[in-house]
């Protein structure tokens, strides 16, 4: 309405144009030159918003629309809806923990500060359902691994039994005193003891109680790395609470499980993997020996002893191949 003199408008009812975002011209300029100050309009748009102007000579002090009358429409952006029913098996983008259900329709990558209950809530699951899909999780969900994919939706038609159990932290009253003399460095917070017999080695103790050498040494810190100082008729802890290897003062609870049955590899294996294996892990894209070691609480040396094809730099593990993570080392006749 720049072309209308306000003091000449008579009394009455008038139709006003829709409002727009405006600017004031600060010097005489053509419309084609003026729009170069803006990167969100064309000359055609500018002229259609300002039908009253002289496109050749915009005058100093003239008010012009620099946006469409009525304002620009801003679309509401929404995230793509996730399907509620999954008909095909998804491919995880990151490694998955051992035991994750295979018939999974959707995976979620764990980030810092995630908790099982928040993940379950986000995907309309109960905690029991989430843990049933991801059985590597302990009863208290204290072992979520950052950077790993966890299943959050099943392929349609898949059924699981969701049973949630929690593991109570043992109290000091559950600890048992040593049945005989012990060496220095043996934890007092022990649930089960073993008295060394003639011809025992660390390996025989490890296989009997289903623990690793690292665990056995954590509970009995006097033991050296080669286990050359095991004393006959002394008691050693095989299940209990010990300070971690880093010496930070935090504790880890170590419980034993007895395994005596070898299981077949779930998929193809490389040459040199022991056939006398209690547990296998199928390597996922992005896995390293370090991730496998942390997942199963084993050392690189032990992993290589079970899978002799693997080199010391661990540069030759193959995705979708099974590697033994608990068993009898090839050619040694001993297990861990």
Per-residue pLDDT, 127 = 78
Of residues 240, 232, 227, 213, the one with CA closest to residue 301 = 213
Taking the domains of the chain in order of start, what are their residue ranges? 16-65, 84-168, 172-254, 259-336
Tokens 């500060």 correspond to what residue? 113
Q: What pLDDT is attached to residue 336? A: 43
Quick one: pLDDT at residue 166? 38
Q: Determine the pLDDT at residue 332.
A: 41
The residues of the chain scoring below 50 in pLDDT are 1, 78, 80-81, 163-173, 243-260, 331-336
Q: In this predicted model, what pLDDT tens digit does every residue of 155-177 receive, in sequence order?
A: 887 777 654 443 434 443 467 88
| Architecture of the domain defined by 259-336 | Roll (3.10)
Span 84-168: which CATH code?
Answer: 3.10.350.10
- Whether the CB-CB separation of 110 and 150 falls below 8 Å is answered with yes
Q: 84-168 with 259-336: one CATH topology?
A: yes
Cα 81 from Cα 22, distance rounded (Å): 38
This model's pTM is above 0.75: no
Pairing of strands 251-254, 149-154: unpaired
CATH fold of 16-65: Membrane-bound Lytic Murein Transglycosylase D; Chain A (3.10.350)
Q: How much is the pLDDT for 146?
A: 86
Tell me the pLDDT tens digit for each residue of 312-328.
889 999 888 889 888 77
The pair phi, psi for residue 310, each rounded to 5°, is: -70, 130
Q: What is the pLDDT of residue 265?
A: 83
Residue-level pLDDT at 107: 92
CATH number of 172-254: 3.40.50.1970, 2.20.28.90, 3.10.350.10, 3.40.50.740?
Answer: 3.10.350.10
């Amino acid at each position: 309405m720049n072309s209308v003199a306000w003091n000449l408008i008579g009394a009455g009812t008038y139709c006003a144009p829709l409002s727009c975002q405006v600017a004031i011209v600060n010097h005489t300029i053509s419309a084609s030159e003026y729009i170069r100050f803006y990167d969100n309009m064309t000359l055609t748009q500018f002229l259609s918003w300002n039908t009253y102007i002289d496109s050749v000579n915009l005058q100093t002090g003239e008010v012009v629309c620099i946006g469409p009358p009525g304002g620009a429409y801003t679309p509401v952006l929404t995230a793509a809806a996730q399907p509620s029913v999954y008909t095909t098996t998804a491919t995880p983008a990151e490694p998955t923990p051992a035991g994750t259900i295979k018939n999974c329709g959707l995976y979620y990558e764990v980030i810092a500060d995630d908790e099982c209950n928040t993940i379950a809530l986000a995907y309309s699951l109960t905690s029991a359902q989430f843990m049933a899909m991801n059985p590597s999780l302990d009863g208290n969900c204290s072992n979520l691994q950052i950077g790993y994919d966890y299943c959050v939706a099943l392929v349609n038609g898949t059924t699981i039994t969701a049973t949630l159990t929690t593991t109570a932290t043992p109290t000091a009253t559950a600890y048992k005193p040593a049945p005989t003399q012990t060496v220095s460095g043996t934890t007092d917070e022990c649930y089960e003891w073993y008295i060394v017999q003639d011809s025992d080695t660390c390996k025989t103790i490890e296989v009997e109680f289903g623990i690793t050498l690292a665990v056995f040494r954590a509970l009995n810190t006097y033991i050296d790395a080669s286990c050359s100082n095991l004393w006959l008729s002394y008691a050693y802890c095989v299940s209990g609470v010990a300070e971690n290897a880093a010496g930070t003062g935090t504790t880890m609870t170590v419980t034993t499980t007895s395994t005596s049955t070898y299981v077949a590899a779930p998929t193809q294996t490389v040459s040199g993997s022991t056939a006398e294996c209690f547990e296998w892990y199928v390597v996922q894209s992005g896995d390293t020996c370090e991730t496998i070691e942390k997942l199963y609480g084993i050392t690189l040396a032990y992993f290589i002893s079970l899978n002799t094809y693997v080199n010391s730099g661990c540069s030759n593990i193959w995705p979708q191949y099974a590697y033994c993570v608990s068993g009898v080392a090839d050619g040694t006749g001993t297990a861990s």
